[in-house]
Amino acid sequence: MRFLLLVVPCLLALAVPLFNMTSPELFGIPFFYWFQLLLILVSALGIYVADKIGKA
C-alpha cells in the first residue's frame, strides 16, 4: 500500500500520452497543464499518507 502511494503518482507523471491533450479544460487551462499541476499535490499527499501509515 505504501509502495503504491509513492509509485503510482510517478507512473502517472510519466504516462505522457494519457494527458497530452487540451481538453477537458479547467478555468480555461488545457488538460495538459492543470493535470500535471494537480499531480504535484496528489504526489505530495501520497508521500504524506505513506509516511503516516509507516509510523502507525
Amino acid at 3: F
Nearest CA among 48, 22, 44 for reference residue 35: 22
d(CA 15, CA 10): 9
The only residue of 18, 24, 28, 56 in contact with other proteins, by rule CB under 8 A: 28
Interface with other proteins includes 18 (CB under 8 A)? no
Interface with other proteins includes 36 (CB under 8 A)? yes
Cell representation of residue 45: 499527499
Q: Which residues bind other proteins (CB under 8 A)?
A: 6-7, 9-10, 13-14, 16-17, 20-22, 25, 27-30, 32-33, 36-37, 39-41, 43-44, 46-48, 50-51
